[in-house]
Structure 1
Amino acid sequence: MRIAHRLADWVESRWVVPAYSGWVLGAFSLCFLAAAINTMAGWLYVISGISLALLAMAATLPVRSLHRIHLQRLPIQPISAGEELTIEIELHNQSSQPKTLLQIRDLIPFVLDRPVSGVIETILPQQTHRWVYYQPTKQRGVYRWHTTQLRTATPLGLFWCRRERQLPATAIVYPTVLPLTTCPLIDEIGQEDSPQYFSRDRRSQLANQDLTRSLRPYRWGDPFRLVHWRTSARYGELRVRELEVFTGGQEVIICLDSASLWNTENFEQAVIAAASLYFYATRTQLTAKLWTANAGLLQGHRVVLEALASVNFGETPGDTPPPDQPIVWLTANSLSLNSLPAASRWLLWPDNATTPKLTVSDRPGIIIQPEPQLQTQLQSGIRN
């Protein structure tokens, strides 16, 4: 059965294959022809001849109907996981005859869904028809596919003809960015008790006292450390400082340990956490950067999102090691925590519920638990 199906599929994509009605008419034509030979009745020859001529015409017209149809795929705009991809294909009828009753099929990757089909009734001569469909997404990633099929049995419906067109497509689905209202992991960076970091943070605060650009009303999500309390008391509402440069060039480097082996679900959570921490840091006017094992150090909203959309665990490390300065380390390997630079933070996704205390006691961080929501844990206080 599979061999017959593959053979029919191969014939349909290169020539034509009979529809059910075509098989029926062909069987009747042969029966009439056999009866005519047996009885030598002229009217049976006429019926069989007309039927066979009709089959021949029905076999050639679908092939001609698919000629001179030019397909063009429009760029697919990136979205976040959980949203719908908008996929548009334009069909240009370059002939002087209308094209009718076309079936179009876009062979999207199976990880997204099954191939999507649509029906186009008519494309007028020298006109363009835009076919649009919306594909839901569940998981981040960079999805690529190449093939779109056109199929028709017009005008008699006796034979199917299908032709494949190469229309390369790239759909980028960004990871979800959690709307963090606070994040001690980022807020407390640079507030270590050691004299080195205390003096640096103090000098940074003094250097920026005169760099307040303006005051504006408080917006949801603004960190309370930027609130100007004296002005807020005078106006009776919270006012927030907008700084030219915050904390003297202090930067936050979020490092995703993508070279290690992860549990798949934990790694997806880590990617979401990396994106959320990055955008929270930029929202609080810190200089944020992202590091992954293969891509190295990255900066810029779109660049970071595209890197997080395509990153996978177990990557081959590139030429750029993690920066030798305080970082936020996202990992599933508890043994890597003690080798972090001083004043670093970490997020750990353990494979089991218990993690040796020795491996996590040197530097502060958060052990991500399976039960509470990730957003709740990122907004909670740092613990060892």
Structure 2
Amino acid sequence: MRIAHRLADWLERRWVVPAYSGWVLGAFSLCFLAAAINTMAGWLYVISGVSIALMVIAATLPVRSLRSIHLQRLPIQPISAGDELTIEIELHNHSSQPKTLLQIKDLIPFVLSQPVCGVIETILPGQTHRWIYYQPTQKRGLYLWHTIQLRTATPIGLFWCRRERQLPTTAIVYPTVLPLSTCPLIDEIGQEDSPQYFSRDRRSQLANQDLTRSLRPYRWGDPFRLVHWRTSARYGELRVRELEVFTGGQEVIICLDSASPWDAENFEQAVIAAASLYFYATRTQLGAKLWTASTGLVQGHRVVLEALASVNFGETPGNTPPPDQPIVWLTSNSVSINSLPAGSRWLLWPDRTTTPKTMVRDRPGILIQPEQQLQTQLQSGIRD
């Protein structure tokens, strides 16, 4: 049975394979031909000959129908996890005959879904038909695929013909970005328990507080410390200062420990946390960068999102180690916390063997609790 299925699949991809009606007509043709040979009746020869001729024509037309169809795949716009991918494929009919009753199948990765099928009734001569479908996503990632199948039995329906076209494409699904209203982990990054540090940081803030580049309307999530109250009172709505330089000269580097072994679910939470911390830092006028084991330091919204979409745990470390300055360290390895630079903060996703009592650490941070919401924990205060 398996051999017959493989043979039928090979015939359909290389030439044609009979449909159920084709098998029935073929069996009747052989029966009429056998009866004609046995009885020497001319009308039986006519019936069998017409049936065989019809089958020959039905076997050649589907192949010709698919030959002059050109396919083009349009670029797929990146989305965030939970949204729908918009996938568009254009079919151009370059022949002088209409193309009818086509089946199209896009062989998307199995981690997204089963192959998506569609039916196209007619493509007029010289015309283009655009096939669009929407694919829901649940998980961030970088998805690549390339195969599209066209199948038809037109016009008689006695034989199926299938051809594959190679149209490589890439779909980027960004991780979810949590809308953080506050984040002490970022707000207190780099602070030292030294009066000299606070004095120097305060002087830096006083020196930069008047370097306002422009004023814009308040957007949800903007820190209230950037609100220009005098202008807000004049216009009757909140106006926020956009600074020419970063407040206090601060630079926040979010480091995802992607070289360590992780629990798969914990790692997905860590990627979401890294994206959320990065965008919170940029929204509060801080210079934010992202570091992973494979990419090193990257900056820029699109570059960071693409790096987080494709990152995996257990990666081979590159040539760029984490910077030797205060960082936000996202890890599952509690031992690595003790070697962080002074002023750093950490987020730890513990395994089953790690408990607060067994951890040894001299840097403040947050021990992520799996039973609590991640957004709530990121917005909570730092627990030493």
TM class, shorter-chain normalised? Answer: over 0.9
The secondary structure found in structure 2 opposite 1:66 is helix
The whole-number CA distance in structure 1 between the counterparts of 2:298 and 2:132 is 34
The whole-number CA distance in structure 1 between the counterparts of 2:166 and 2:232 is 61
Show the counterpart of 1:146. 146
| Amino acid across the alignment from 2:194 | S
**Structure 2 unaligned residues grouped into runs of 5+:** none
| Amino acid across the alignment from 1:289 | K
RMSD: 1.8
The whole-number CA distance in structure 2 between the counterparts of 1:353 and 1:317 is 25
Query: Once the two structures are superposed, what CA deviation does each residue of 1:55-90 show, in whole Å capped at 9, x if it has no partner?
Result: 111001100111111111110000000101011111
Show the counterpart of 1:37. 37
The whole-number CA distance in structure 2 between the counterparts of 1:80 and 1:170 is 14
Show the counterpart of 2:183. 183
**Structure 1 unaligned residues grouped into runs of 5+:** none
Show the counterpart of 1:293. 293
- 1:127-166 correspondence to structure 2 within 5 Å: 127-166=127-166
Query: Once the two structures are superposed, what CA deviation does each residue of 1:337-382 show, in whole Å capped at 9, x if it has no partner?
Result: 0000000000000012752546454111101111111111111111
Query: Once the two structures are superposed, what CA deviation does each residue of 1:261-313 show, in whole Å capped at 9, x if it has no partner?
Result: 00000000000000000001001111100000000000000000000000000
Distance 1:383 1:236, change over 3 A: farther
Show the counterpart of 2:103. 103
TM-score (structure 1 length as normaliser) = 0.96
Show the counterpart of 2:261. 261
- 1:1-384 correspondence to structure 2 within 5 Å: 1-195=1-195, 197-215=197-215, 218-228=218-228, 239-352=239-352, 354-357=354-357, 359-384=359-384
Query: Once the two structures are superposed, what CA deviation does each residue of 1:191-236 show, in whole Å capped at 9, x if it has no partner?
Result: 4322453243123212203213355554321123324567768888
The whole-number CA distance in structure 1 between the counterparts of 2:155 and 2:49 is 20
Distance 1:220 1:135, change over 3 A: same
The whole-number CA distance in structure 1 between the counterparts of 2:237 and 2:26 is 84
The whole-number CA distance in structure 2 between the counterparts of 1:217 and 1:164 is 53
Count of residues paired in the alignment: 384
| Amino acid across the alignment from 1:4 | A
| Amino acid across the alignment from 1:258 | S
TM-score (structure 2 length as normaliser) = 0.96
The whole-number CA distance in structure 1 between the counterparts of 2:147 and 2:214 is 54
How many Å apart are 1:190 and its aligned residue?
3.6
How many Å apart are 1:101 and its aligned residue?
0.8
The whole-number CA distance in structure 2 between the counterparts of 1:191 and 1:230 is 30
Distance 1:31 1:189, change over 3 A: same
| Amino acid across the alignment from 2:3 | I
The whole-number CA distance in structure 2 between the counterparts of 1:216 and 1:84 is 32
**152-161 or 206-215, larger mean C-alpha shift:** 206-215
**227-236 or 192-201, larger mean C-alpha shift:** 227-236
